[in-house]
Structure 1
């Protein structure tokens, strides 16, 4: 299974590196339907200040819409430092936009393929980490802040997201990648009040193997992948986390709930996935009309090529749990 997983990672990297690169000059398109956009890990910010939806994800580009129906983009919005650990042309995965206090923050995974930090079995580990950029407006440009690193340089981390605890302290919740530890984790690290750097060290929240639903091919054991954490509170105040893994070769969205109501858990995993098969990396946003939706991407392989397209689902979490409804068609 490890050999197969490594082969998948290599093939995806070779075929999709141009898509992930921020230096690819985008060709602007207008009035594009959502299901005509090729995008992994879609994250949507509904910005009341501009009455506009902003969508980003893997690739480091930005799409804009006034109604969720027609989108304009992609726009290049990041300005990373070529002299930093990221190098001159980092790959960008799973970008998120968060409005926090009076600024906008860009949480994303950056990979410098020219730097190798470790080799574990057949896994060659590249320099990869979650990082945060900042802008005064949702359209960017997003630029680096004070700290050159947020997470350890000798660990591959990804899919960082923002969460603010009830005491007002901000945290990055992220994945420590299975390629190195062979049992992916989701962890937290405290951030400075202005999100310009991290405080202390990361702390384990749970491991991939703790999930009752994610399994390797044949169901012989737990899957090793943790992907795409996103946090929210239900209507009753219960802390919940969306996260994604695999059931065999099926990309799958699950959910866990914190027994303590804080990031420290313990985290109780639902026994079954919450969306149809081959959907994942979900997040929730409130539309400008006040309705809650889930944004995530479909994952379909055809003739050896993987197609990932953003989708929206209706959701209800007014009670104690998240209930995913029918697909939303704007």
Structure 2
């Protein structure tokens, strides 16, 4: 199949031992009770095989509702899936699963969610600092705090738990140059969305953070920059959007030739979402779209 035939949200690509592994949120069960995650594989980014189920919720799993935004990171010889789960009785958040193979099966590694138990959180991603300190970067959802935030928490070396208090990198409203608030009928007031953080370091060691919200043309892919080259810095928003027309929740990977690519889902419409791939180039110590693959 081609990537246009794959109906997922929140695409994430792991490149490992000559294979592209594409993970994402199952679009058909995105907004309802869901039971797991799939993976698609390719050797050339053109032709894909799958879906292969890589995680299926066990009967005693702690969360009974949504399964969102799986990311798989290789760390210390194993594969760790950062994934968001929602529950009807407790606050949702990002948990960590583990496998010995990119195709799983992944099994629970953290006891429950790593994110704070009294926060509504989504979209955890992995960040390893220059001194090899592991962190989870995640979203504190607008549905709880109105002005959505990108936050971080230090992880134990074995990635089983948080070992620090969470701290805020920035709030959505700080992107005042382009962001458009949402005003849903069922939640009175003005709200600002944060989605899908992902960290990337440029050739000149600048630390970028990709994240999504809503702009004038719909769902977006935005950029922020750390002023000290690490997660502890002050984050400055870029008013130039990397992708601005109804697509987002992206991440960056390197193809087999070590060229950077952006993947995201578009359109941001239920059952029409598809992963797309854009070649990137670095210029002025930031990222620009090069072409659509």
- TM-score, normalized by length of structure 2? 0.89
Give the 3 Å change call, closer, same or farther, for CA 225–54 of structure 1 in structure 2. same
Find 2:20's aligned residue among 34, 37, 53. Answer: 53
Aligned to 2:220, the other structure's residue is in SS state strand
Is the counterpart of residue 173 in structure 1 residue 142 in structure 2? Answer: no
The runs of 4+ residues in structure 1 deviating greater than 6 Å are: none
* Distance apart, 1:287 and its partner CA: 0.9
* Distance apart, 1:92 and its partner CA: 1.1
Give the 3 Å change call, closer, same or farther, for CA 272–217 of structure 1 in structure 2. farther
Aligned to 1:281: 249
Aligned to 2:192, the other structure's residue is in SS state coil
Aligned to 1:85: 62
Aligned to 1:207: 171
Find 1:154's aligned residue among 99, 111, 118. Answer: 118
Structure with more helix by fraction: 1
Aligned counterparts of 2:182 and 2:263: Cα–Cα separation in 1: 27
Give the 3 Å change call, closer, same or farther, for CA 217–229 of structure 1 in structure 2. closer
Aligned to 1:314: 279
Contact 1:65 1:71 (8 Å CA) reproduced: yes
Contact 1:235 1:318 (8 Å CA) reproduced: no
* Distance apart, 1:244 and its partner CA: 0.3
Unaligned runs of 5+ in 1: 1-31, 118-126
Aligned to 1:253: 221
- Higher CA-based Rg: 1
Aligned counterparts of 1:55 and 1:306: Cα–Cα separation in 2: 18
Aligned counterparts of 1:138 and 1:216: Cα–Cα separation in 2: 38
* Distance apart, 1:200 and its partner CA: 2.3
* Distance apart, 1:149 and its partner CA: 3.4
Aligned to 1:58, the other structure's residue is in SS state strand
Contact 1:93 1:109 (8 Å CA) reproduced: yes
* Distance apart, 1:262 and its partner CA: 1.2
* Distance apart, 1:84 and its partner CA: 3.9
Contact 2:263 2:277 (8 Å CA) reproduced: yes
* Distance apart, 1:239 and its partner CA: 0.5
Contact 2:266 2:273 (8 Å CA) reproduced: yes
Give the 3 Å change call, closer, same or farther, for CA 279–149 of structure 1 in structure 2. closer
Aligned counterparts of 2:24 and 2:2: Cα–Cα separation in 1: 16
Aligned counterparts of 1:140 and 1:182: Cα–Cα separation in 2: 36
Aligned counterparts of 1:300 and 1:169: Cα–Cα separation in 2: 34
Unaligned runs of 5+ in 2: 27-36, 184-188
Aligned counterparts of 1:272 and 1:319: Cα–Cα separation in 2: 13
Aligned to 2:159: 195
Aligned to 2:34: none
Aligned to 1:214, the other structure's residue is in SS state coil
- Root-mean-square deviation (CA, aligned residues, Å) is 2.0
